[in-house]
Structure 1
Amino acid sequence: MKSNNSLTPSYFQFTVFADFGPLRYLFFILSLLIYVTIISANLVIVLSVCLENSLHQPMYIFICSLCLNSLYGSTGFFPRFLMDLLSDTHFISRPLCFTQMYVITTYLAHEMSLLTVMAYDRFVAICQPLHYHSKMTLRTVLLLLILVVLYSVGGVAYVLYQPTTLPLCENKLNKIYCNDWSVTELSCEDLTVIRITSHYYATSFFLIHLSVILYTYLRILFLCRRSSSEFRGKALQTCLPHIVIFGNFCISLFCEMSLSRYKTDEVNTFVINVLTMEFLVIPPIMNPLVYGLKLPQIRKLRQFDKTHYNIYDQYKLEL
């Protein structure tokens, strides 16, 4: 129950963990296997790009950044989640809670921003192939990655500032990880203004990135309509991994945002856990699998093929 006097709890309690009895060891093993799979699959891509000189090109640098972000987000969730599966109590200190909240939120922001930059990269490669090397230089790639980090970190810092300063009357979180809105809802104050502001920022952030991605693919689509079937096939092969990754991420994001709009006591606990796990598990697994299977350079490296490919041949599409 909420009290009239505001409090500053030194810890929070996760309330959605059920007492699974001996089954918790099975869930722990399955979750650990998922975490190990995420680490292994993403490290394969990261090491392939870092160690192979022929992959030191914009396309693969962005893929490497996407996999590093998957490792970052998964590490912000799984170690604590694995510990909670084996624990009889599910308390987390205030500093650790806000740290986890920051890591998971920046993971989300980085993922969306990286996918937007990758869409622009494909737009230049397909629609302006002769200018690709002059536009997507190493300096430009590094500048884009720096902007992604600064934009995401700055936006997340603004969003998370409010929950850290609000007086809280409760410490029970109906989640399996620390979420900014779940913590904000524990406040003793009226949240109308904060609710409108946070929803406006989240919607604006998503729509800005979505608009850029849709614009790039509309331009690619218009170009494909005027081109040969061979060109369309090459364009689809180039864009397909990004389309799959972006579509999967949007579905995961939609599940998470839809869940946050409901009062968690009105939703089945199993549904809460599944949707949250889908948001934090599926994209980090899908990213390296899709790119590892679809991109010839990375796939052949995994098969220990010594043949080297030129990135310009991958992108150059004859009109």
Structure 2
Amino acid sequence: MDVHYNITYLILGGHVQLSKYRYLYFSITFLLFILIICSNTIVLYVIYVHESLHKSMYIFVAALLMNALFGSITIYPKLLVDLLSATQTISRPACRLQSFLIYLYAGCEFTLLSAMAFDRYVSICRPLQYHSLVRTKTVKLILAFAFCVPTCKIGIGVILTSQIELCKFVLMRITCDNYSLVKVGCGDSSVISVYGFFVMVFSIVPHLIFIVFSYTRILIICLRSSRDFRRGALNTCLPHLVIFLNFTLIVMFEVIQNRIPSGIPHIVRLIVSLLYVVIPPLFNPLMYGFKMQAIYQRLVALFKRNNSI
């Protein structure tokens, strides 16, 4: 522990063979970060400049991509600095802040995916009521809800964690998270553990149930409809469903490997702990850019125009 001006510093001890592969790790991480920034920004730009895409479905897509950028910026800059540093340290307040922002990113992702499922459900199952149910005001309220509810739930957890005293000062991670901070703390942490479990369950299970219900209803409607209707519904629903399943599985793997003791090698744990800020931020803009025709056509037009200049 280093204490300067009453600030406690923690060591991020999760890096593997950093001295040997430092520049390789840095190059790969930097390339991933640039790809994430560019791919998400391009799709966001296309949605922003075309008024025909200023609809609820594409607004939710834009919010999801902005959340991916938010999650990436929370992790990658600090990680890049650590990869080039002799020691990987972080102050306790900064560690709590990073933990809060990472959890907020994950919580907002699930809420936004549920909002998108609601939009698709109303559009396909109740088309005559769509414009009355999904208005501009409704979209704004949903987006506010998607941010405010995770902020409150996670903020309380971070405040509870900040009350515990530390017995150890090494986190076997390369990023901060509340669970690791609790594990290096002293004394009884049962209240924090119960609250953390509550937040985890209610951040995943209700969204999972709602999305399964929505897509079950959509599937029933599609089976009763024409082939053209099924094709159109598939084009708008498939990217969202794949992204939801992808993110849910990644988060579940991270929760399981972090909380259940096992013989999983540390390098595997390390890779799994980063998947949620590698795969979704890279995968989401590709899925929406190539699978949603309205966005794909404008992306093609954008690149053709740039190539002709």
How high is the TM-score relative to the length of structure 2?
0.92
Indicate the residue corresponding to 2:243 in structure 1: 245
3-state secondary structure, aligned to 2:173: coil
1:27 aligned residue: 25
With over 3 angstroms needed to count, the CA separation of the structure-2 counterparts of 1:128 and 1:108, relative to structure 1, is same
**Structure 1 residue 20, shift from structure 2 partner:** 3.5
2:220 aligned to 216, 219, 222, which one?
Answer: 222
Alignment-derived partner of residue 313 in structure 1:
none
Query: Superposition pairs for residues 182-261 of structure 1, below 5 Å?
Result: 182-261=180-259
Structure 1: where are the runs of 5+ without partners?
Answer: 1-7, 307-319
**Alignment partner of 1:294 is 2:296:** no
Question: Is 1:82 aligned to residue 83 of structure 2?
Answer: no
Q: Give the drift of 1:247.
A: 0.9
Corresponding letter in the other structure for 2:197: H
Kindly indicate whether residue 105 of structure 2 is the aligned counterpart of residue 107 of structure 1. Answer: yes
SS at 2:19 equivalent: coil
User: For residues 55-111 of structure 1, what are the alpha-carbon distances to aligned partners after superposition, in whole Å with 9 as ceiling and x for unaligned?
Assistant: 111011100000000000000000111111111211111121111111101000000
User: How far, CA to CA, are the matches of 2:122 and 2:150 in structure 1?
Assistant: 23
1:304 matches 2:301: yes
**Aligned partner letter, 2:298:** L
Give how far 1:175 is off: 0.8
1:273 aligns with 2:270: yes
Distance 1:194 1:140 in 2: 34
Q: Deviations over 1:137-165 (max 9, x none)?
A: 11111111011111111111112121111
How far has the Cα of 1:166 moved from its partner? Answer: 1.0
Name the CA distance, whole Å, in 1 between partners of 2:135 and 2:29: 40
Q: Which amino acid aligns with 2:13?
A: T
Output the CA distance in 1 between the equivalents of 2:127 and 2:302. 27
Read off the aligned partner of 2:35 and give its amino acid letter.
Answer: T
Note closer, same or farther for the CA distance 1:200–1:305 as it changes in structure 2 (3 Å cut). closer
- Distance in 1 (CA, whole Å) between partners of 2:73 and 2:35 is 12
CA contact (8 A) 2:56 2:139 kept: yes
What count of residue pairs does the alignment treat as equivalent?
298
CA separation in 2, counterparts of 1:30 and 1:66? 24
Distance in structure 2 (CA, Å) of the matches to 1:100 and 1:41: 24
Change beyond 3 A, Cα 1:132–1:10: same
Q: Offset of 1:22 from its aligned partner?
A: 4.6
Instruction: Work out whether residues 175 and 272 of structure 1, in 8 Å CA contact, stay in contact via their aligned partners in 2.
Output: no
**1: CA distance, partners of 2:242 / 2:168:** 41
Structure 1 contact 9–168 (Cα < 8 Å) conserved? no
Contact 1:110 1:152 in 2 (8 A): yes
Aligned partner of 1:269: which letter? H
**Does the C-alpha gap of structure 1 residues 253 and 152 become closer, same or farther in structure 2, counting only changes over 3 Å?**
same
Higher relative contact order (CA 8 A, sep 6+): 1
Q: Shift in Å at residue 9 of structure 1?
A: 6.8
Residues 229-253 of structure 1: CA deviation (Å, up to 9, x unaligned): 3332322222101011101101111
Partner AA of 2:270 in structure 1? N
CA contact (8 A) 2:157 2:192 kept: no
1:16-165 equivalences in 2 (<5 Å): 16-165=14-163
Give, in whole Å, the separation in 1 of the partners of 2:302 and 2:277: 33
The list of structure 1 runs, each at least 4 consecutive aligned residues, that deviate by more than 3 angstroms after superposition, is 19-22
SS in structure 2 at match of 1:304: helix
Which residue in the other structure is 2:307 paired with? Answer: none
- CA shift in 2, pair 1:42/1:305, >3 Å: closer
Structure-2 residue corresponding to 1:310: none
CA drift of 1:196 comes to 2.6
Distance 1:305 1:99, change over 3 A: closer
2:168 paired residue number? 170
Question: TM-score with structure 1 length normalisation?
Answer: 0.89
- Asked if the contact 2:47/2:53 (under 8 Å) is kept, the reply is yes
